[in-house]
Amino acid sequence: MEDVVSGAGSMLMGSLAKTKSVKQPASVPRVSNDVSDSDEQLLIAVGNHQDRAAFNALFSRFSNKIYAMGMKLTRNEQLSHDLVQEAMLTVWQKAPLYDLDRGTAQSWIFTLTRNRCFDILRKMKRQPATVSADDIWPQEGDIDSQLVHEEAGTMEVEVSKIESFYGQLPAPQRAVVEQIYIHDRTHEEAAAVLEIPLGTLKSRLRLGVGKLRQMVGTEV
């Protein structure tokens, strides 16, 4: 999984360096001089009147790029195929929500491909389904949506007070734990301070720490 993630990083490694040069060509059509043929115009045509020809054009421009992103991240042909299907379906379904305020068409398609890819990878790695891409990158469809206010789950407090456990230790063990953990003394120093043999100190420490861990462990 590490290499999958670093693959994504290196794939886009050059992007920071390119940030400056990105702004001005954003709305300039790259493929054709005909403005009606820009990605943005195609996307708006799909959104406004379900333009099949415009959708075919977007499909042929982006599907191979989407497939390649899928192969890079999942190394799995079936999942990459699914990614093309899901990303292009989202393009079709959400095209009516696109407008130029949302940035360039290629950036819009990139973000929704990234999001579908996140969800596919999460399923592939069997990660908990707590959060989906749409929770993490909400700007794709529904920025500033009204949140429903409801009662949160009850707060359940489980008490684990290590200080009070410490007080429950027998005095000789407590003295040793105090020297080592509170005064930060070495075993030798602590044995000298307490005027006990080193062996005795070590066994009391082992017993004391063992008891504390047992007490904490039942609470943790």
Partner 1 sequence: MNIDAKYHPTPEQLEGYAEGSLAPGMNVVISAHVELCATCRQSISELEEAASEEWLRSTPDTRASSINFSAMIDSIVDHPQIKNDDTTSDNVPEIHMLDHSVTLPRALAKVASDGLVWKQLAGGINQATVTLDDQTQCEFLYMKPGSQVPVHKHQGSEVTLVLDGSFEDELGHYKPADFVVRTAKDQHQPASEEGCLCFAVLDSPLTFTKGLARLLNPFIRYRFRRATSAAAH
Is 206 near partner 1 (CB under 8 A)? no
Sign of the C-alpha dihedral, residues 120, 125, 131, 136?
negative
Is 207 near partner 1 (CB under 8 A)? no
Is 167 near partner 1 (CB under 8 A)? no
CA-closest candidate to residue 196, choices 172, 177, 166: 172
Is 65 near partner 1 (CB under 8 A)? yes
**Span from 47-55, 189-197, 199-207 in contact with partner 1 (CB under 8 A):** 47-55
Which residue type is seen at 117? C
Is 27 near partner 1 (CB under 8 A)? no
DSSP structure class, residue 34: -
Is 201 near partner 1 (CB under 8 A)? no
Is 84 near partner 1 (CB under 8 A)? yes
Cα pseudo-dihedral 10, 12, 14, 15, rounded to 10: -150
Sequence length of the chain is: 220
Residue of 15, 24, 33, 218 that binds partner 1 (CB under 8 A): 15
Residue of 44, 45, 54, 109 that binds partner 1 (CB under 8 A): 109
